[in-house]
Amino acid sequence: MSGGGDDYKREESVVLIVIVSLAALSLLSLIAAFAYYCYITRKVSRRLNSHQLPKRSSSPAPVPLPPPVIPPQGKESPSSNSASDGAAAGALVVGAERGVQLFGYRQLHAATGGFGRAHMVGQGSFGAVYRGVLPDGRKVAVKLMDRPGKQGEEEFEMEVELLSRLRSSHLLGLIGHCSEGGHRLLVYEFMANGCLQEHLYPNGGSCGGISKLDWPTRLRIALEAAKGLEYLHERVTPPVIHRDFKSSNILLDKDYHARVSDFGLAKLGSDKAGGHVSTRVLGTQGYVAPEYALTGHLTTKSDVYSYGVVLLELLTGRVPVDMKRPPGEGVLVNWALPMLTDREKVVQILDPSLEGQYSLKDAVQVAAIAAMCVQPEADYRPLMADVVQSLVPLVKNRSASKSCNPNVQASKPLD
């Protein structure tokens, strides 16, 4: 009996040892698995960290304006103003700051006589403009921007960025700029005859003011302003939308050649056919396209509408909005549009100071162009290239007629 009991105890001991051994092995396996998991986790973590991008600065550098496309026709001469260069003129694209000077505030303060009132030549929405003379004798116009805060800074940077890169004889040239302390100044070519608005409305738009701009000069101004917009819309990629095209932003040199100016509100448009950019509505009452005012959708056709309003100003001698006029005549587009395509009524809306200077055929053609530009539906408006092509022969014919008969002036509209 005692022998059997010993065997039983030995079997129990063996079973216990086996169980303990298995438990120990299981525990060791768990520990090994956990250790391997921790090793793999640390290894993966180190690998990910080694491939992380460095953190961005809190104030990233601004994205530069994409350079405009250089058309294959060649470079445009800055002094070219011929009516035929609308199709052949190319864009001379320069890098930011190339050919643009950096001025000190004291230098411009001295050049403009301390920004005295006697030197002020204009007052815009973004600041006053002063006449100045640089030490080398060049006459310049200096815009002292007074729009405070972020918006003013954005407008300043946009104008410097655009005009540092774009070159056309139909855009106002930027000579340089100053951003010193809290001062922001832009230095432009000096345009001896100011802006178109001043010549259309000598008395500030009142009915008593009589413009001295004759018909041939108005036609040429219309063409050159159209070429400025054509350059922005169709010779630059992505296109530039002016967004504040109006008669006060068309400047005239000593020979009354026109330059488009003031790019503080300009916007880069969509490079897709028929595309738009959505933005807050800015601009001047009477010039803003209806679809842009309603939806904030901005396209190059928005500028075409504004151009049409300016063309109506050149035709009629009326400001875009004048609520002092009789009922129905306060808004220029609403009053003129129904008559622009009626040959008999076109003469009724023309500026009385133009009497005897135009042929009825030319006036009807210009009125038809204006009617297309101010169509309520953007899709029905022409491209600026089409406007230029329509105006070129009118300007050429009128110039040829004037040169052949320099002393002859008709006493009534010519048929």
- Residue 16 forms part of a structural domain: no
C-alpha 260 chain-centroid distance: 11
CATH number of residue 106's parent domain: 3.30.200.20
- Residue 251 forms part of a structural domain: yes
For residues 127 and 117, membership in a common domain is answered with yes
The predicted pLDDT at position 32 comes to 73
Q: What share of the chain is helix, strand, coil (3-state, %, to 5)?
A: 45, 15, 40
Q: Decide if pLDDT at 363 tops 70.
A: yes
CA distance 230 to 383: 8
The predicted pLDDT at position 63 comes to 33
The predicted pLDDT at position 4 comes to 58
CA dihedral 314, 318, 320, 323 (to 10 degrees): 180
Q: Where in the sequence is the domain holding 390, given as residue range(s)?
A: 191-397
How does pLDDT run across 238-258, given as a tens digit for each residue?
899 999 999 999 999 999 999
The predicted pLDDT at position 312 comes to 98
36, 210, 351, 388 from 92: Cα distances, Å: 66, 39, 38, 20
Mean of pLDDT over the chain:
79
Q: Decide if pLDDT at 38 tops 70.
A: no
Does the predicted model carry a pTM greater than 0.75?
Answer: no
Mean pLDDT of 130-143: 94
Find, among 201, 195, 211, the residue nearest to 251 by Cα: 195
Confidence of residue 83 (pLDDT cuts 50, 70, 90): very low
Least confident of 63-77, 129-143, 277-291: 63-77
Find the helix or strand (DSSP H, E) in which 36 lies: helix 2-50
Q: Decide if pLDDT at 399 tops 80.
A: no
For residues 357 and 221, membership in a common domain is answered with yes
CA distance 73 to 90: 6
Find, among 303, 294, 295, the residue nearest to 268 by Cα: 303
- Residue 82 forms part of a structural domain: no
Q: Are strands 174-180 and 101-102 parallel, antiparallel or unpaired?
A: parallel
- Residue 278 forms part of a structural domain: yes
For residues 172 and 216, membership in a common domain is answered with no
Q: Decide if pLDDT at 206 tops 50.
A: no
Mean pLDDT of 102-111: 94
Sign of the C-alpha dihedral computed for residues 399, 403, 404 and 410 taken in this order: positive
For residues 319 and 204, membership in a common domain is answered with yes
Pair 188, 175: CB distance under 8 Å: yes
The predicted pLDDT at position 250 comes to 97
For residues 330 and 374, membership in a common domain is answered with yes
Q: Decide if pLDDT at 269 tops 70.
A: yes
**More confident site: 166 or 389:** 389
- Residue 119 forms part of a structural domain: yes
Burial 23-32 (b: 16+ CB within 10 A, else e): eeeeeeeeee
For residues 146 and 230, membership in a common domain is answered with no
CATH number of residue 390's parent domain: 1.10.510.10
For residues 144 and 235, membership in a common domain is answered with no
Q: Decide if pLDDT at 51 tops 60.
A: no
For residues 229 and 147, membership in a common domain is answered with no
Find the helix or strand (DSSP H, E) in which 131 lies: strand 127-133
The predicted pLDDT at position 273 comes to 62
The predicted pLDDT at position 322 comes to 95
Pair 231, 382: CB distance under 8 Å: no
20, 36, 38, 44, 262 from 30: Cα distances, Å: 15, 10, 12, 21, 76
**More confident site: 18 or 61:** 18
Amino acid of residue 69: V
Q: How many domains does the chain have?
A: 2
Instruction: State which of 190, 221, 249 marks the end of a domain.
Output: 190
For residues 195 and 111, membership in a common domain is answered with no
**More confident site: 152 or 244:** 244
For residues 185 and 300, membership in a common domain is answered with no
Pair 143, 125: CB distance under 8 Å: no
For residues 214 and 305, membership in a common domain is answered with yes
**More confident site: 11 or 44:** 11
List the catalytic residues.
Answer: 244
Confidence of residue 149 (pLDDT cuts 50, 70, 90): low
**More confident site: 373 or 212:** 373
Instruction: State which of 190, 219, 253 marks the end of a domain.
Output: 190
Q: Decide if pLDDT at 204 tops 50.
A: yes
Q: Decide if pLDDT at 372 tops 90.
A: yes
- Residue 112 forms part of a structural domain: yes
Q: Quote the crossing angle between the two packed helices 360-373 and 384-404, to the nearest 10°.
A: 160
Facing residues of 383 across strands? none
How does pLDDT run across 298-315, given as a tens digit for each residue?
999 999 999 999 999 999
Q: State both tokens at 1.
A: 């009996």
196, 262, 328, 333, 335 from 204: Cα distances, Å: 12, 20, 21, 19, 20
**More confident site: 37 or 198:** 198
Pair 119, 190: CB distance under 8 Å: no
Q: State both tokens at 59.
A: 């104030």
How many CA atoms within 13 Å lie on the side-chain side of 166?
32
For residues 99 and 163, membership in a common domain is answered with yes
- Residue 11 forms part of a structural domain: no
- Residue 44 forms part of a structural domain: no
